[in-house]
Amino acid sequence: MSTLTTESPAAQLDPRIIRERREQRLRYILPLAAITFALGVWEFLVWYNDVPHYLIPAPSLIAKTLVTDGASLMQSAMFTVKLTLMALALAIVGGVVLGMLFALSRPIEMSLFPFAVILQVTPVVAIAPLILIYVSNTFAALLICAWIVAFFPILSNTAIGLRSADHNLRDMFRLYQATPWQRLRYLLIPTALPYFMAALKIAGGLALIGAVVAEFVAGTAGQNTGLASRILESSFRNEIPRMFAALFLVSVLGVSIFLSTAWLSRAVLGHWHESEIKREG
């Protein structure tokens, strides 16, 4: 077979790299600039109109509160972070395990799916009081609430993903007499990964929402409480800057979760999946 051409991969072009770098920088600079600008406008309007700080505090005052109340706020933030991450981790474990069971067996899916749907469609605020009554450990109760919210997308996407393998590729694996384990490892899991990643992005945000909602229901009781309790507490005491500071931390937490899951998805799928591939041209 000496007549075959051997083409070589396209050489890297300099202008493209330069353009890519610029785009990369803009990706950080533009959002930061926009946010800084918005904060500036806020600060200016509050100062210019002399808005009292118990209505709308200026960003500078919120920042000051973040520093002065830093210790207690950080403690609360750590509580919420712990709650959210544990709920997310349990949602991943539960969702993936159940999703695999569903993908393996239709009867199991048909019997258990209704429960999953009921859990999903019932608003967590409505179940939370019951859970708080039945589960004496508050942290465990909060964890269950956040878990319920986060787990469904992972379950359903994992189950769908594991079923989505290309039928010719399935035949390929049959032809070479792959073991069930090989089929799972080399075909089904890679096929399901994009579905799982999409679910993870959603579940990360949902875990935080579930955690905050559950904390709200639980109220401010107990010493070791999260950011939602700080918000409630501040609203009772009319400490609006502190409320904004806690709110700010919740947002930071949400954004961090979003950025990490987006980063993870890109890291895992970036080299092959359409959703994460940067198009050229």
CB atoms within 10 A of CB 181: 8
**Does residue 168 bind other proteins (CB under 8 A)?**
yes
CA distance 190 to 269: 10
Please provide the size of the chain in residues: 281
Task: Give, as ranges, the residues between 237 and 276 that touch other proteins (CB under 8 A).
Answer: 271-273
Closest alpha carbon to 159 in 94, 93, 103: 103
- Among residues 113, 273, 118, 267, which one has the least CA distance to residue 191? 273
d(CA 57, CA 75) in angstroms, rounded, equals: 23
Tokens of 260: 């990490």
- Which residue in the set 113, 173, 216, 258 belongs to the binding site for other proteins (CB under 8 A)? 173
Work out how close the CB of 2 gets to other proteins at its nearest, in angstroms, rounded to a whole number.
Answer: 10
Separation CA 187–CA 198 (nearest Å) = 18
**Between 199 and 257, CB nearer to other proteins:** 199
**Site for other proteins contains 182 (CB under 8 A):** yes
Which of 101, 169, 184, 209 is in the footprint of other proteins by CB under 8 A? Answer: 169
Which one of residues 59, 94, 190, 219 is an interface residue with other proteins (CB under 8 A)?
190
Tokens of 74: 């950080």
User: Cα–chain-centroid distance for residue 220?
Assistant: 25
The least CB distance from residue 281 to other proteins, in Å, is: 14
Least Å distance, CB 274 to other proteins, is: 8
Which one of 110, 117, 172, 267 is in contact with other proteins (CB under 8 A)?
A: 172
Distance CA 256, CA 25 (A): 19
Site string for other proteins, 125-164 (x = CB under 8 A): ----------------------------------------
**Of the listed pieces 13-21, 105-113, 116-124, 175-183, which binds other proteins according to CB under 8 A?**
175-183
Taking the complex as a whole, the smallest distance from the CB of residue 187 to other proteins amounts, in Å, to: 8
Q: Which stretch binds other proteins (CB under 8 A): 20-28, 30-38, 177-185, 257-265?
A: 177-185
CB of 272 to other proteins, least distance (A): 5
Torsion sign across C-alpha atoms 40, 42, 45, 48: negative
12 lies in the site for other proteins, by CB under 8 A:
no
Tokens of 104: 């393996």
Tokens representing 68 are: 């002065």
228-257 b/e with 16+ CB inside 10 Å = b?
bbbbbbbeeeebbbbbbbbbbbbeebbeeb
Task: Give the footprint of other proteins on this chain (CB under 8 A).
Answer: 1, 3-9, 166, 168-169, 171-178, 182, 186-187, 190, 193, 271-273, 277
